[in-house]
Every structure is written in C-alpha cells, then in structure tokens.
Structure 1
Amino acid sequence: MSGEHMQIGEVAARTELSLRTIRHYEDTGLVIPSARSQGGFRLYTEADVARLMVVRRMKPLGFTLDEMRDLLAATDRLDAGEALTGAERAHLLDRVRHFEGAAQRRVADLRIQLARAEEFADTLRRRLPPP
C-alpha cells in the first residue's frame, strides 16, 4: 500500500473516532473512502481525514448530519478549483459564514454551561470536609 492511503484503523487513531463511527459517516454519505484495496479494505487520504475532522468538530456543537453535509458541500465546491460565478461563490461563502456564526454562538453557549458546571462542582466541593 502506498503512503498516500490509510486503512480505517489508522484513520480512527488519527481522528479519535471509532471504526463504527467512521463507517456510520460513510453510510450517511458524509465521508466516502477514496479507494478500496484489492482485498476490499477502505482506503482513505489526507483529504478524507480532514473531512472527518470537520465532522468530529461539528458533532459536539450539536450540528445535524444534514448541516454537516451542507457545510461540506459548500467547502467542497469552494475548494474544487472549478470556475464559479461571482453569485455562486458569494452564496457558498455566505453558507460558510452562516456555519461560522452558528459555531461561535454554540461555543459561547457551551462556555456558559461549563461555567455553571464548574460553579456547581465548586459548591459541592465546599460542602465536603477537607481531605
């Protein structure tokens, strides 16, 4: 096997996703292996790993599979190097901006939740006698 392709186990280790999760993302069309070995094993490229990392980062922010698909479709078109009209490019950039704004809002919400959780843990800690 060449150095440019990785089997699913290596991809799982690099992305910290389970084999089952990667296969699920394949089944839903989010990430398709770039090739198959002669033995039928899934083979992935760095670009496939990058897509999985986008999905992995979106998941804890509560984005749906459809939203992940939408963002990946927009970034795929922007990155494809194909000729886009000004309107098409503007629309795709607006989609990415929409997701960037949504991600920022969700991060802010998570910071609030984390602060509340830390406050709660501190409250419990203060109720306990010193060790």
Structure 2
Amino acid sequence: MQIGEVAERTELSLRTIRHYEETGLVIPSARSQGGFRLYTESDVARLMVIRRMKPLGFTLDEMRELLAATDRLDSGEALSAPEREELLGRVRAFQEAAQQRVEDLRTQLARAEEFAATLRARLAHLPAG
C-alpha cells in the first residue's frame, strides 16, 4: 500500500511516517516503478508499535531498541538460549516501563480531573452575573 493509505490506517501524518523512515524506525518494503513508497502489513504493524510508544514518552532510540529486539525474536532464525533470554529480557523491561508509564499517566489524569472538578464546584458557588 502507498503512504497515504498507511497514514490513514495508522492515524499518523505523512510527515511523521517520512520522519520515522529518515530515522530508520521503519523502511518501506518496496518502491513502485514511479518511486512511490510501498508498505506491507508488517510495516503498518511496526508503525502502530511506534505510535503506541510515543505517548508514553519513549525516545526514538528506545523505540529502535525494542523494534530491534522484536525483529530478532520474530526473524525465525535460530537463537542461542542466552541470546533469546537476553532479547526477552529487553522486551520484558519495555513492558514493565510501559506499565509504569501508564500508571503515572493515570495518576496525572486523576489529578487533572480533581482540578477540573474543583473549578466546576467553585464556579457553581459563585453568584451569577
């Protein structure tokens, strides 16, 4: 599929997808005869991982590290037991970091909701006019 369809499916802008390409996070699987980028379902899945990591504050380098680990695990190549365990350990560390960041965001959201409720209550008690 071309970049426009990928942008629509991932809810990422063309500019963002091109940026991720420039930084090496995702490489189009092919190019059309006219030079247009062509992406596969695998490329879309990769972009979705990146899109989900971004709001949790992961850096481009962290995204690259996780994707490298999952690419290696998914490659189908024979891995030694220590290498496989090391890669799984990296993925587990990212899962734990993601979970902690989700909890932190929940705490921030709860505080923001409390603040909004406080303002609502304050406005409700002020005389109209």
- Tell me what 2:22 maps to: 27
- Tell me what 2:86 maps to: 91
For residues 26-79 of structure 1, what are the alpha-carbon distances to aligned partners after superposition, in whole Å with 9 as ceiling and x for unaligned? 000000000000110000000000000000000000000000000000000000
- Tell me what 1:61 maps to: 56
Deviation at 1:129, TM superposition (A): 3.3
- Tell me what 1:3 maps to: none
Q: Which runs of 4+ in 1 moved over 6 A?
A: none
Give the number of aligned pairs: 126
Percent of paired sites with the same residue: 82
SS at match of 2:24: coil
Any unmatched runs of 5+ in structure 1? 1-5
Q: With the length of structure 2 as denominator, give the TM-score of the two structures.
A: 0.95
Q: With the length of structure 1 as denominator, give the TM-score of the two structures.
A: 0.94
Any unmatched runs of 5+ in structure 2? none
1:7-86 alignment to 2 at 5 Å?
Answer: 7-86=2-81
Indicate the RMSD between aligned Cα atoms, in angstroms. 1.2
Deviation at 1:127, TM superposition (A): 1.7
Larger Rg: 2
